[in-house]
Amino acid sequence: MNAPSTTAEYVGEVAEIWQRGVARLTREFSLLSAERRDELGALLAEVEDFKEKLCRLSDAAEGAAICNACGGACCRAGRYHATLLDLLAYLAAGETPVEPEFARGVCPFLGSEGCRIGPRRRPFPCVIFICDLIDERLATEEATRFNQQEQDLRLLLNRAGMRFGRNLTESLLIATARTDRDGGALLELND
């Protein structure tokens, strides 16, 4: 593939990779056995509970207001944050993923009112990142709880990767580009 010569071409290529990735992941998800889907559903529910708890702790320190006022300085690489696991959560629930807006120049999931993805479905980097402004507002016990929740979530994601034979926290865009180049599947389909 030739390097894009304009920003519009680049945005178009990224959007195409996204669409290929979503289509490929949807197809591979449909091939999972009912038992494997149930196992994945239980994992996703546990991951979403951790994400919600982390977002609540951040919001208790005015995280949502700070993030909205900031406009996404930490979200510059947000297009790479949506992972295989994040998209699988939508597929397992029979929902359509939030459509990214790659032309925005910051996180394609950031809207005028903040993140367009609900707390339970936000990508891992988004729920664990605490900027200095939020960190300054976290009480000591909240910061300790946040750090413990993050570590527990990391352990859960590592176990999931071992069980499903892949790092499920890999960026959908990066994983799709890799499988476009090298072949192979986004998911480990061996039951």
Domain boundaries defined on the chain: 7-182
- Between the alpha carbon of residue 186 and those of residues 6, 49, 78, 81, 138, the distances in Å are 29, 24, 20, 16, 38
Residues 47, 86: contact at Cβ < 8 Å?
no
**pTM assigned to the model:** 0.86
pLDDT for 111 equals 82
Rounded-to-integer distance, Cα 116 and Cα 70, Å: 15
* 78-104 pLDDT, tens digit each: 677 888 999 999 999 999 999 998 887
* 117-151 pLDDT, tens digit each: 999 999 988 888 888 999 999 999 999 999 999 99
Using left for φ > 0, alpha for ψ between -120 and 50, and beta otherwise, residue 115 falls in beta
Instruction: With cut-offs at 50, 70 and 90, classify the pLDDT of residue 177.
Output: very high
10 Å CB burial of residue 107 (0-12, 13-18, 19+) is buried
Share of the chain above pLDDT 70, in %: 93
